[in-house]
């Protein structure tokens, strides 16, 4: 077997994750499949790369050697790929906006705004529940921009390869059926929902842990959590089977109300990421501005969120952007 770049990525991921189970989750593989792949890699290289123990894995001397080389080769090959993509796109008369995102109303608004602002530019989208998958696609040059969300102060994926800009922060709301006993309230105490089952769209960030921690602070443990698509979350809330967790900007579906959780125990940060050395860097300022505008429009379109903002004397609950890594390219331009 010849050693390939995907094998080096697997080695790096296992070392960073600290266990085969966590690495398999990051790579989207079954743990037995990753374990079998590692054995083939070790057979090719002639020795063990990791020592397995009760608390995970740690690199051997050979593993350290291979990992050091992988950390040099992987960024170099990625840069080569991105530069090649940029070279083939230099002759285009209009920029191409290839957007990737997770669920939510903002991506559609950004498509609308970018299409209107650049009628000659192709705008394409890709959706995944996994923000890691979307970020990796941007880092590898398959997409230009990642539009994702994160709770708390968690680090967005691919922090070493992508520039990230926070363009909004929202409270997490709860969806309830219109005949729910708490539907008439403007805000709902999380503790008053202790007996509810919950519905949420899955993700691979830390939202589940943050939600459980918020419930613990409120004095209860969620009795049941359904991870499903947004349409099923809406349905389960509408029939009273669960309380649905949603972003404040979500348009209220028929048969439901969306209500703020008192004290804002959960927050959602909206982020946009791009390769600071790729073609997207030339139009990043413009795209970020459209992301701000798309969020502001979504906030005013949501009746419950607009009422919440008015009650809290705020136009938009949007702290100053806090990029995890600001691009430092000279000549970054806006096409607006």
Tell which residue, 250, 261, 264, 267, has the closest CA to residue 306.
250
List Cβ neighbours of 291 (8 Å cut-off, separation of 6 or more): 106, 110, 147, 167, 168, 270, 272
Radius of gyration of the chain (CA): 22
Residue 22: the pLDDT is: 86
Q: What's the predicted TM-score (pTM) here? A: 0.67
**How distant, in Å, are the alpha carbons of 27, 185, 221, 255 from that of 180?**
41, 10, 21, 11
User: Residue 143 and residue 236: Cα distance in Å, rounded?
Assistant: 34
HSE-CB of 250 using CA atoms within 13 angstroms: 26
Residue 95: the pLDDT is: 63
Residue 91: the pLDDT is: 52
**How distant, in Å, are the alpha carbons of 85, 136, 316 from that of 78?**
11, 11, 38
**How distant, in Å, are the alpha carbons of 9, 33, 241, 250 from that of 295?**
35, 41, 30, 11
Residue 193: the pLDDT is: 96
Residue 317: the pLDDT is: 47
Across the 336 residues of the chain, what is the mean pLDDT of every consecutive 10-residue run? 86 90 81 90 93 88 92 81 64 71 84 91 89 90 91 81 90 94 94 95 82 94 90 93 92 91 92 87 90 90 89 59 38 31
Tell which residue, 240, 242, 246, has the closest CA to residue 259.
246
pLDDT tens column, 69-86:
988 888 888 777 766 766
């Amino acid at each position: 077997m010849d050693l390939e770049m995907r094998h080096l990525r697997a080695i790096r991921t296992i070392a960073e994750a600290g266990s085969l189970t966590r690495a398999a989750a990051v790579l989207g593989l079954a743990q037995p499949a990753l374990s079998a792949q590692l054995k083939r890699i070790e057979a090719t290289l002639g020795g063990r790369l990791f020592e397995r123990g009760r608390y995970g894995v740690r690199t051997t001397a050979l593993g350290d050697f291979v990992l050091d080389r992988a950390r040099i080769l992987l960024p170099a090959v990625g840069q080569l790929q991105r530069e090649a993509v940029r070279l083939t796109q230099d002759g285009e008369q209009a920029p191409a906006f290839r957007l990737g995102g997770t669920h939510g109303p903002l991506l559609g608004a950004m498509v609308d705004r970018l299409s209107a602002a650049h009628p000659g530019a192709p705008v394409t989208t890709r959706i995944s529940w996994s923000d890691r998958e979307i970020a990796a696609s941007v880092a590898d040059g398959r997409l230009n921009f990642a539009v994702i969300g994160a709770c708390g102060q968690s680090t967005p994926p691919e922090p070493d390869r992508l520039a990230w800009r926070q363009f909004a922060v929202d409270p997490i709301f709860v969806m309830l059926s219109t005949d729910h006993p708490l539907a008439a309230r403007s805000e709902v105490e999380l503790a008053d929902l202790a007996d509810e089952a919950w519905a949420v769209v899955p993700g691979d960030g830390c939202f589940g842990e943050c939600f459980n921690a918020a419930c613990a602070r409120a004095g209860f443990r969620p009795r049941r959590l359904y991870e499903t698509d947004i349409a099923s979350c809406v349905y389960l809330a509408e029939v009273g089977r669960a309380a649905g967790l949603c972003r404040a900007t979500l348009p209220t579906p028929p048969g439901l109300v969306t209500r703020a959780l008192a004290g804002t125990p959960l927050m959602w940060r909206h982020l946009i990421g791009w390769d600071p050395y790729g073609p997207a860097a030339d139009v990043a300022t413009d795209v970020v501005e459209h992301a701000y505008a798309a969020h502001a429009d979504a906030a005013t379109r949501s009746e419950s969120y607009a009422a919440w903002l008015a009650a809290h004397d705020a136009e938009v609950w949007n702290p100053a952007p806090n990029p995890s890594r600001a691009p430092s390219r000279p000549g970054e331009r806006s096409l607006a």
